[in-house]
A and B are shown apart, each in its own frame.
Chain A
Amino acid sequence: MARTRAVLLVVLCAAPLLVACGGGGDRGVILHWYVAEDTAGAYRQAAERCADASAGRYRIRVEPLPQTSDTQRELLVRRLAARDRTVDIMGLDVIWTAEFAEAGWLRPWTGARAVQVSAGVLAGPLATARYRGRLWAAPFTSNTQLLWYRKSRTPSPAPTWDQVIAQAEALPGGDNEVAVQGGRYEGYTVWVNSLLASAGTELVADPDRPDRARAGLAPGPTREALAVIRRLASSPVADGGLSVATEVETEQAMLSGRAAFSLNYASLYATVRDQQPALLADLGWTRYPQVVPGRRSRPPLGGTNLGVGAYSPHPELALDAAACLRSAPNQQVAATGGGLPPTISALYDDPAVVREFPFAELLRQGIEQAAPRPATPAYSDVSLAVQLVLHPPASVNPDTVVPRLRRTIDDALTSKALL
Chain B
Amino acid sequence: MRRLGWYAGSAAVLLVAVLPVAWILSLSLKSPATVTDKRLWPADPTLENYRSIFGSALFTRALVNSVGIGLLSTALAVALATPAAYALTRLHFRGKALILPLTLAVAVFPPVAIAGPLFDLWRALRLYDTWPGLVIPYLSFALPLAMWTLTAFFRGLPWEMEQAAQADGATPWQAFRRVVVPLARPGVLTAAILVFFFAWNDFVFAISLTSSDRSRTVPAALAFFPGDERLSQPVGSIAAAAVVVTVPVLVAALVFQRRLVAGLTAGVVKV
Contact = CB atoms under 8 A, between A and B. Distances in A.
Interface of A: 1-2, 5-6, 9-10, 12-13, 16-17, 19-20, 39, 64-68, 71, 75, 78-79, 81-84, 86, 246, 248
B4 to A, nearest CB: 45
A51 B61 CA distance: 27
Contacts of B193: none
A248 B184 CA distance: 58
A17 B131 contact: yes
A64 B226 CA distance: 8
A2 B177 CA distance: 10
Give the top 9 A-B pairs by smallest Cβ distance, nearest first.
A9-B75, A82-B128, A16-B68, A16-B64, A13-B72, A13-B71, A79-B211, A82-B123, A6-B79
Contact of A6 (B78, B181, B184): B78
A66 B211 contact: no
Interface in B210-251: 211-212, 214, 224, 226-230, 232
Contacts of A19: 64
Contacts of B185: 2
Interface residues of B, number: 33
Given A13-B68, A82-B123, A2 B184 contact: yes
Contacts of B181: 1-2
A67 B233 CA distance: 10
A67 B67 CA distance: 29
Interface of A is mostly: helix
Contacts, number: 69
Contacts of B79: 2, 6
B229 A39 contact: yes
A71 B224 contact: yes
Contacts of B129: 82, 84
B58 to A, nearest CB: 9
A82 B214 CA distance: 14
24 contacts: A1-B177, A2-B78, A2-B82, A2-B185, A2-B188, A5-B192, A12-B71, A13-B68, A16-B67, A17-B68, A17-B131, A39-B228, A64-B226, A66-B224, A66-B227, A67-B227, A67-B228, A67-B232, A71-B224, A75-B224, A78-B211, A82-B211, A83-B123, A86-B212
Given A9-B74, A78-B211, A248-B230, 13 more contacts: A1-B177, A2-B78, A2-B184, A6-B79, A10-B75, A13-B75, A17-B131, A65-B226, A79-B212, A81-B123, A82-B122, A82-B129, A86-B212
Contacts of A82: 119, 122-123, 128-129, 211
Given A2-B181, A6-B78, A12-B71, A75 B211 contact: yes
Contacts of B123: 81-83
Contacts of B232: 67-68, 246, 248
Contacts of B122: 82
Interface of B: 61, 64, 67-68, 71-72, 74-75, 78-79, 82, 119, 122-123, 128-129, 131, 177, 181, 184-185, 188, 192, 211-212, 214, 224, 226-230, 232
A237 to B, nearest CB: 25
Contacts of A71: 224
B159 to A, nearest CB: 17
Contacts of B128: 82
Contacts of B227: 66-67
Contacts of B224: 66, 71, 75
A20 B211 CA distance: 16
Contacts of A10: 72, 75
Contacts of B78: 2, 6
B211 A84 contact: yes
B71 A20 contact: no
Contacts of A246: 232
Contacts of A64: 226
Contacts of B184: 2
B211 to A, nearest CB: 5
Contacts of A81: 123
B72 A5 contact: no
A20 B64 contact: yes
Nearest to A20: B64
